A and B are shown apart, each in its own frame.
Chain A
């Protein structure tokens, strides 16, 4: 009895502790320094769950508390990846940045950072001032990815898309990637697909203007 009770107790404890772990799994990942949150990738989800969730899954049949829980867990586990699979990972800039943040095209950033670099040449004569590494890398990246020499010409071509519900972040992404076809644009910016009917024609015109501008540089 005591053994049974002991086993049951230890299983319940294990189950309880695992359940505790399981319940706290999302919280404990937040407390960890290394936290990767994945969306829209089943392989990575299964990869993650196999480490932390594997123990729970094997222990479930043993625990008494988990018979109903198993069913719940299986049902829950079965539903959530399927529902997340349908929506590809979308860009949600506006929700994460303060409202006063303004998206910049890579060509605009190049223009501004080059101007600052000229000033920094003067400042760098002072030995106490160090030019940060992130500035050099940021400038190099902006130069390599900007397709257009004249940022002032690019913004008017894409800004009118805001009238069709396209957000600033989406416009920036289109300008930085400079897709050649609207299929490419919809593939790279999945959130545009919801507005496809509205946006398809103006986007096609904008992309053809951009490609002319790109060729004329």
Chain B
């Protein structure tokens, strides 16, 4: 039977279009119930004994939730207790339309066999399809469709078999009107809360319930705290007319009353608007897409450098805040003021489940508690739970349900517990979740694309490959590295020139475009290295075995071979797919020893010496061109082999061999970048590092000036030279500090598609073109570079997405995002391990340098641990000393002492575990001594432990 569905829609150009869809009804859609004998179904999903222990429904029953129940209560539906649910097509479609993440979760549940969720395509069923009637809204129609389907089910199950003792369907809805109508037509219907509360055997489910609007009144005072959000239609009109702007809301990490809204402009000209104060922030949450109205110029403010954290008990009276807000409005110099605005509406919420911890309410019986997310940019969330005592001290996940205008905090509900706070596994899970790092085990679909073991090189593999097994190739990597993606060789040719080869694991041979393995890798984007843990981009079989260029096994490689003279000038460049057999896997230290050991004269050592010699020349040339050597302190933990707890940490030291490998990797990357760009002008995947805008250097210049050192930032070369020349007598660490500061001035290097941009320059490396080619095991960008290069040399075939610059640009965005998040996750992991380290150390007294000066704090760097921490000078529980902040210096005068950048200070370092919410490293000043601010020097007792640890 044919019906047609007609609806009218507005086109983008403002026209109106009538759309007609054919809609076919069928009579062979089965009910999916095991108890049914009428339907000719092959397999059933819904069980006969559909028992959930409920005080409301003592009989076996199927549940039919309506759309709003699914949308808001998906967390409950996901629970293993809830089984035998009929998801109507109407509901599924509406959910899909309203929320993509919920839709995905719902689909996942449906696919799970244990859950017995059945999708009933009621919209195509002859007896349950209904047409919209005149005067009926779309929602009413859908509600009616749900009721009609529920009715059909209850009758169908009744007629199908007489002896099924009362198998019934229960409609779950939160809509009063819908419920009433359903009752009128004789359906079993309950409110969702009602039903869940009736599940006597599983009281914990109640915690998962999202707070709905009806019980909102109890939670908050009726006082309206926030201005109303504008409806979407007015926002759109406002954006069109230019009175509002649309942007992404970015809450400040340091100050909960401040945020910026990032407005994506054409190409480079993106702008930021400052938002200050609770009212102006107007319930926007980090990462939301919001509409902002600019305030008149007279109300513009400067970003405050105050560090403010939302602490203390739940406060619904905002007296305290007004004071805090006042603190923000320190009259700022006219120049420092920035475009300031207020949020008038939310275009798209970007809420995800947040990790964090519960602040248990002081009132013992209270079921409402505040939840503090781990991410400081997310406001605290009010949740309702009865297991507060169990959850206290655990890391939990919470979803936001809504933020009414009369509530100081958003309302949310408990999703799941991750484990005890401070436990390593829990914390690792938290930081992976918080940084959106995909870390689940690889799915079967992905693993199915792995090569079958035992794997060997076949003659077909050799067709387009060069046999380089005879070459003396070796790899040099950090100790313990199992994913070796590069190997090198160097040999003298008959004509006296040198042949240098960089051999990169041929990952693109194993990962074919478009399959599940490729998609998964593209999504993960990069391997994430945490302390003591690696989250692979590709399954381990590839990363640690088949692709890894281990010694004395035959491996497929992609080789880049140069012929060079002894002055490291490239005479010839050649790319080829190859087979190699690495002769040795060395660590940096081993390689260094071989080079230095004059007694050794084997092929590997000779090859290494040749490489080292060339690398030195290459490095010199690069630096002459203006490449920057920047500095950031990287620390390594010495892990206890059994407990995996850090027992010592040291800053990573660099050897000559590190830079030897690096030089050749850079050279290979540049050569490949040039080649793929020459071949594919429009769709080469390249990497650029934009020159920072001059204003970025302000802090560096000010800092250097305070020590009477001049820094030139006009070009990368000038910067590099002046950094080299920057020395202060009696302060050997000054240069390193300066380089650390310079690093902070830099922009992020990003991947991009050559067809979408015209600035290719890599500022840091002083190279006109650059890409990533040398680490395909751990970076997806390299796989694309491999594919492009393979096509360019005719070793592989192309595919449409590779040549589509828009698709590639989208891919680059994901890669950039994943890289950034991986970096953050890495830092967070280091920070966490630092905390673990200090936990076992007690209080330490260390020497450090002032790195930045803020309005109410100084940031101190401890070179020994590569650790940065903040020393606050004002705190709520103490009398604030007199603080004078000089922005030009920048300098901060506390009582009599003035702090400037690079000042040497002594601080105590301890783990502040008093606040379990955020365990953090606390620093307190010991030298210089400022009465009322600094603390006494602790006993040197912890040092006594040291010999024991140095075993």
A and B held together in a complex: no
Interface residue ranges, B against A (CB under 8 Å): none
